């Protein structure tokens, strides 16, 4: 799949993380980029836009990233959801992987790690 054809959903309660990820996706050539500020909105955005890949923070308001991941996988069992975790949320990361996360990223997120994941899909 060509990066310009990939639909991306970025879910993080931090405006700085959303901006950094959106800027990176734009730089890599992605044209369709959606954002969500919490887990509840992430599920809504997923159902509306059916992205090819979703980058999801684990610790978010309204619904955790793990709860949102489970709901997204209930909608589409083949959904590619990459969870992001900062130091101190390792237990949540294990839960996300067991719930069916496609991959994980350690915060702060490096551009090269994101690019590797995008190139795999």
Summarised one tens digit per residue, pLDDT across range 17-70 is: 999 999 999 999 999 999 999 999 999 999 999 999 999 999 888 999 999 999
What average pLDDT does range 1-6 have in this prediction? 77
What are the tokens at 53? 């890949």
Domain ranges within the chain, ordered by starting residue: 3-120
Cα-based distances in Å from 121 to 64, 78, 116: 25, 12, 9
* C-alpha to C-alpha distance for 37 and 4, rounded to whole angstroms: 24
Tell me which CATH code domain 3-120 carries. 3.40.50.2300
First to last CA, the chain: 7
Average pLDDT, the chain: 91
* C-alpha to C-alpha distance for 118 and 109, rounded to whole angstroms: 14
Tell if the pTM clears 0.85, that is, is over it.
yes
What pLDDT is attached to residue 13? Answer: 93
Which of 37, 31, 67, 70 has the alpha carbon at shortest distance from 52? 31
Which of 46, 11, 9 has the alpha carbon at shortest distance from 25? 9
């Amino acid at each position: 799949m060509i990066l310009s054809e990939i639909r991306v959903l970025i879910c993080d309660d931090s405006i700085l993380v959303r901006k950094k990820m959106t800027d990176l996706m734009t730089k890599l050539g992605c044209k369709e980029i959606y954002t969500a500020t919490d887990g509840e909105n992430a599920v809504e955005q997923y159902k509306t836009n059916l992205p090819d890949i979703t980058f999801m923070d684990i610790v978010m308001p309204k619904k955790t990233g793990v709860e949102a991941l489970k709901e997204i996988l209930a909608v589409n069992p083949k959904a590619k959801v990459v969870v992001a975790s900062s130091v101190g949320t390792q237990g949540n990361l294990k839960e996300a992987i067991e719930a069916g996360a496609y991959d994980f990223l350690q915060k702060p997120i490096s551009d090269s790690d994101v690019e590797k994941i995008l190139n795999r899909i």
